[in-house]
Amino acid sequence: MTAGTEGTAGTEGASRRFDSGRLCLDLIATAPATPGGRERLDSPAHLADWLVTSGLVPRGTGLGAVDVTWVARFRRLRALLDRLMGAQLAGRRADDALARVNTLAAGAPPGLRAVRGQGGTLVRALSADPACGALLAAVARDAVDLLTDPDARAGLRRCEGDECSRLYLDTSRGSRRRWCSSEVCGNRERVARHRRRTKAAP
Q: What is the pLDDT of residue 195?
A: 57
Q: What is the pLDDT of residue 160?
A: 76
Q: What is the pLDDT along the chain (202 residues), one digit of tens a residue?
A: 233 333 444 433 333 446 688 999 999 999 987 777 889 999 999 999 999 999 999 998 999 999 999 999 999 999 999 999 999 999 999 999 999 999 999 999 999 999 998 889 999 999 999 999 999 999 999 999 999 999 999 999 888 777 777 898 887 776 677 667 555 575 565 555 545 566 665 6
Q: What is the pLDDT of residue 191?
A: 53
| DSSP code per residue over 57-116 | S-TT-B-TT--HHHHHHHHHHHHHHHHHHHHHHHT---HHHHHHHHHHHTSPPPPEEEEE
Q: 168 — phi, psi (to 5°)?
A: -155, 165
- Note the residue count of the chain: 202
CA dihedral (161, 39, 60, 76) in degrees, to 10, reads: 100
Q: With CA atoms as reference, report the closest residue to 26 among 135, 167, 158, 165.
A: 167
Q: What is the pLDDT of residue 200?
A: 62
Pairwise CA distance, residues 168 & 29, whole Å: 9
Q: What is the pLDDT of residue 12?
A: 38
Q: With CA atoms as reference, report the closest residue to 100 among 81, 119, 117.
A: 81
Q: What is the pLDDT of residue 55?
A: 93
